[in-house]
Amino acid sequence: MDDIGRTLDEVCALIGRFPHCSAVGDSVDGGHTVIHLAGKPAELIALQDLLEAANASVTPWLRADESADAMAIQVVRASVARRDDLIAHGSLQLVGVHVVWRLHRDGLMGTSEANDYLLRWCAAPVQ
């Protein structure tokens, strides 16, 4: 497996640590990764803002008035084009960084584990 495949696997596993949300499929499509998410709309809505901040596209875009009890499916596309010497895997790497920051903030990941990911992905560590 290449570096992009490993990073994609790690990002999907990290997304799966959010309550009521999971990555149910993924692939590499040319210069992009595609991640299929399933979860409760409220959880996916919180995650979609994070994904957008990492320059990934999310479809369909869920609204706050979506049924809280239903399950929803979303598709995330993230570029893997190198941005510079620090961001070797493009938006996919940024998705991983934002997911780790949120997991740590929400108490779902310890500081040491978070910083292992963040330092490897050339991002600001957490305290």
96, amino acid identity: G
Residue indicated by tokens 């809280």:
68
For residue 69, the cross-strand partners are none
Question: Which has the closest alpha carbon to 43: 12, 13, 17?
Answer: 17
- What's the pLDDT band for 86 if we cut at 50, 70, 90? confident
The 10s digit of each residue's pLDDT in 94-119 is: 999 999 999 999 999 999 999 999 99
| For the chain, percent of residues with pLDDT exceeding 70 | 97
pLDDT in tens, 65-80: 766 678 999 999 999 9
Work out the average pLDDT over 50-57. 95
**pLDDT at residue 81 greater than cutoff 60:** yes
User: pLDDT value at position 85?
Assistant: 81
Question: How many angstroms separate the Cα of 106 from the Cα of each of 2, 24, 27, 118?
Answer: 31, 22, 28, 16
